[in-house]
Structure 1
Amino acid sequence: MGETCDELQRPGAEPAILSVPLAQLRRERTSVKWGRYPDDVIPMWIAEMDAFPCPPVVEAVEAAVRRGDTGYAMGGPYVEAFTEFVAAEWDWHVDGASAVGVADVLSGVTHLLRLLTDPGGPVVTSVPAYNAFFEVIEACGRRVVQAPLTVGHRLDLDRLATVFGELTAAGERTAYLLSNPHNPTGTVHSAAELAALADLAHAHGVRVVSDEVHGPLVMPTSTFVPYLTVPGTERDFVVTSASKTWNLAGLKAAVIVPGPGAVDDLRRLHPFLTYGASQLGVIAQTAAYRDGRDWLHRLVAELDANRHLLATLVAEQLPGVRLLLPEATFLAWLDLDGLGLGPDPALELLQRSRVALSPGPIFGRGNTTCARLNYGTSPEILREAVDRIAGSLG
């Protein structure tokens, strides 16, 4: 099963990244994660980790503020740092000259969907899917087309073939919004699955936009495959950022990477749309990509330990819960049907146990018995949360 986070924090070693005490989090954190609920609630909902920050990022941001380097961002060093990182981690060699910086992943996705589809046109996504996908698609005047995953939470290629075929036969310009790795299930799509998806999309003239913000957070038992590294993706796009991996959602920056056949499409974006990344966000994320790889590898080891701890706690204390052991991210997908909590189990658990989870229905059609749990926290907080849930069930 691997080491626990407690075992990873040995005498003389650096403190575990995921070891911030609950009292300290409540006292010092002012983000929406910690401000939405009263202090008696353990927040395990939004995708924000309870992590000590990456030291090179802290040093870079502090130094920038001290010297007054808080003007408008230059994107070149950020893109360069990103290309160096993906080459080192995944042997993915990106042409930095073709990549474009944007404010954040969701704004990049928005710009691409408007480019690739018509007003009111279809954007397909596999559900359960990241809840913000639905909001982004609707906000840019497109319509969501939901294509469920298989019962094993893999891409349902047969269903996608049917959906793509129906939409394009009707003459609609269609995009597919991919979550790679998949949020909320933590599924890591294989190279074969991604290549099959690319073949389907190409055959039907569907353009793929892959959100790969969780790409570096793949567990040691799996291998992350950047979508643009598989054959047949030349006309597609990746949008990504250091924001999730290094817990930098408040320091905004992101990058759009086009396939070789999509470079001209990306150049059609008005330059104004590619502004908006924060100078401090660019500085922070550049430092993360360049100098934060050791921190990242420590974090993944701690998340690996936490996912196994969660599996053990659920098996021992919550036998009515089905946990899909995540292969990536710091998010776990739980089926709470066996607890008999009624039509809104996440709300019921919030009221009973004072633990906040993300309710399943926000991730797409169905999923009424499911919830997403953020295990990017300390083992102590994780244990307390499961203890509270178990104790509340009587």
Structure 2
Amino acid sequence: MTVTPIRALTLDELRERSSEKWREYPEDVLPLFVAETDFPLAPAITAALERAVRIGDTGYVASHTPLAAAYAAFAQRRFGWTVDTARIRSTADVSMGIVEILRRVIHPGERVIVNPPIYPPFFDLVDEAGGVAERVPLRDTGEGWELDLEAIEKALADGSRAVLLCNPHNPTGSVHSAESLDALARLAERYGAAVVSDEIHAPLTQPGVVFTPFLASGDAARRIGYAVTSASKAFNLAGLKCALMIAASDDTTAVLRSLPIEVEWRTGQFGMLAAVAAFSEESDEWLDGLLTTLDENRRLLADLLERHLPGARYRMPDAGYLAWVDLTGLGWGANPAKQILRQAKVALHFGPAFGAPGAGHVRVNFGTSPEILTEAIERIARARTAIDEAVSAVRA
């Protein structure tokens, strides 16, 4: 079957948006930092939202919605994962779901393992839940990144009570293997810890790469694990506020059911309607087209870096639209995105925000048009001399 790529909106069209990506910086800056994409909505989502506005379906989210069934069908089609809809609750977003679950599985002051380089809010979410982040970096194998199970076991043995997992991983785009997930679950169970798996990037796993939901990785994972996910990253719905919290055992389901009803009522009505449309079969063709576009862009970025910024190191991600690029070879210091913003007028995410392994790195959002991506890298290349001089002046 031929897949039609999804084409991004033009820069002029994107400048009409009022979201964070297009309002944080002046118009002379190309924004490739925050995780928003530049594509039109899937038609089924547009239709669902237009209908809701037309009929005034803008009230409170109902206590019974088609969301759980829609996600279960999606998970079966896309991942081969059978989800029990009775074990799903919704909330406003993945971050809120993480915090609410962590509050139930740790006591104040207990440590929660995170794996830098990691999505920066993870540190704050652990703190908000009353925990203390225990940093156990990913292991760089030379070909990719993986969980450092030996170091994780040491942290668990030393008293960490939970693991906040990112699967697929942000910012590296790594998809953890079923074997490593099962091993992580067995370690957590051995030491009486829980695992909360953020799987928001899962729908963006590239064809040919196998994504294993944490709760599908083995019996131990089902007993001690939780998944939190959303349509928001794949379908660009972050502003509509809808996420799912998923359990797979009676004990973990009881934890989700113990959450205050207000946690579920924070689900946005538009977010629920949009997510149901996103998870429907009607949106599968659009999602396949998006994956094709992202595959083209991740390869384009590799070519652009090789041609214009030799010395940059980049591994194409297996999932998502975020590239983790190592610029230490260019000598631009611990936080190169600062000088890139000043001298090249390109906004990238600051590497050190992702933890100590982020020094010298930037995160690049390639969920855009080839033209914008090309212009961004070419701007950085043209500004290379100015960046070199600015960095030297700072050091002097």
TM-score by length of 2: 0.92
The DSSP-based 3-state class of the residue aligned with 1:371 is: strand
Verify: 1:117 aligned to 2:109, yes or no: no
Aligned to 1:35: 23
How far residue 264 of structure 1 moved from its aligned partner, in angstroms, is 1.6
Identify the residue that residue 211 of structure 1 maps to in structure 2: 198
Report what 1:59 is aligned to.
47
Q: Does 1:165 align with 2:152?
A: no
SS of equivalent to 2:156? helix
Q: Is the 8 A contact 2:334 2:352 kept in 1?
A: no
- In structure 1, the partner of 2:184 is 197
Q: Is the 8 A contact 2:327 2:362 kept in 1?
A: yes
1:245, 1:8 → 2: CA distance? 17
Inter-partner Cα distance in structure 2 for 1:266 and 1:240: 14
Match of 1:391 among 376, 382, 385: 382
Contact kept? 1:45, 1:372, Cα under 8 Å: yes
2:58 is equivalent to residue 70 of structure 1: yes
Task: Say how many residue pairs are matched.
Answer: 376
Q: 2:237 aligns with which of 241, 248, 255?
A: 248
Does 1:301 find its partner at 2:292?
yes
Contact 2:97/2:245, CA 8 A, preserved across alignment: yes
SS of the equivalent of 1:195 reads helix
Q: Distance in 2 between matches of 1:235 and 1:163?
A: 17
Tell me how far 1:344 sits from its aligned partner: 2.2
Structure 2 partner of 1:3: none
For 1:8 and 1:271, how far apart are their aligned partners in 2?
42
Q: Distance in 1 between matches of 2:334 and 2:362?
A: 12
Q: Which amino acid is the alignment partner of residue 110 of structure 1? A: V
What is aligned with 2:255? 265
Contact kept in structure 2, 1:241 and 1:255, CA below 8 Å: yes
What CA distance in whole angstroms lies between the structure 2 residues aligned with 1:145 and 1:29?
Answer: 38
Quick one: which amino acid aligns to residue 192 of structure 1? E
Please identify, of 281-290 and 261-270, the stretch whose mean Cα deviation from structure 2 is larger.
Answer: 261-270
- Name 2:271's counterpart in structure 1: 281
Deviations 1:192-227 (A, max 9, x none): 111111111111111000000100101123111111
Q: What is the CA-CA distance between 1:115 and the residue it aligns to?
A: 0.4
User: Aligned partners of 2:335, 2:293: CA distance in 1, in Å?
Assistant: 31
**Aligned residue type for 2:336:** P
Q: Does 1:220 find its partner at 2:212?
A: no
Quote the sequence identity (%). Answer: 42
Unaligned runs of 5+ in 1: 1-6, 10-15, 169-173
Counterpart pick for 2:364 among 362, 365, 373: 373
The residue identity in structure 2 corresponding to 1:274 is E
Unaligned runs of 5+ in 2: 386-396
Aligned to 1:183: 170
Residue 317 of structure 1 is matched in structure 2 by 308
RMSD: 1.4
Q: Structure 2 CA distance, aligned partners of 1:178 and 1:262?
A: 16
- The answer for the alignment partner of 1:46 in structure 2 is 34
The one of 113, 116, 128 aligned to 1:127? 116
Alpha-carbon distance, 1:8 to partner: 7.9
3-state secondary structure, aligned to 1:138: helix
Q: C-alpha deviations, 1:135-156, integer Å up to 9, x for none? A: 2111222211110011232111
> In 2, are the aligned partners of 1:220 and 1:304 still within 8 Å (CA)?
no
How does 1:318-337 map onto structure 2 within 5 Å? 318-337=309-328
The answer as to whether partners of 1:8 and 1:302 remain within 8 angstroms in 2 is: no
What amino acid sits opposite 2:190 in the alignment? Answer: A
The equivalent of 1:149 in structure 2 is: 138
Q: Find the aligned partners of 2:109 and 2:352 in 1 and give their Cα distance.
A: 23
Does the Cα contact within 8 Å between 1:237 and 1:258 map onto a contact in 2?
yes
Q: Which amino acid aligns with 1:39?
A: E
Tell whether the 8 Å contact from 1:336 to 1:345 is kept in structure 2 after alignment: yes
Aligned twin of 2:392:
none
In the other structure, the counterpart of 2:127 is: 138
Moved over 4 A (4+): none
Provide the C-alpha distance between the structure 2 equivalents of 1:190 and 1:342, rounded to a whole number of angstroms. Answer: 33
Higher helix share: 2
CA distance in 1, matches of 2:333, 2:198: 33
After TM superposition, give the deviation of residue 366 of structure 1 in Å.
3.7
Mapped to 1, the partners of 2:31 and 2:297 lie a distance apart of 16
Q: Pairwise mapping of residues 93-104 of structure 1 onto structure 2 (< 5 A)?
A: 93-104=82-93
Alignment check: 8 A CA contact 2:349 2:362 kept: yes
Q: Secondary structure in 1 aligned to 2:227?
A: strand
Deviation by residue 1:32-75 (Cα, 9 ceiling, x = unmatched): 11101010100000010111111110010000110011111125
Partner of 1:23 in structure 2? 12
Structure 1 Cα separation of the partners of residues 288 and 334 of structure 2: 40
Counterpart Cα distance in 1 of 2:57 and 2:296: 39
- Give distance in 1, aligned partners of 2:340 and 2:328: 12
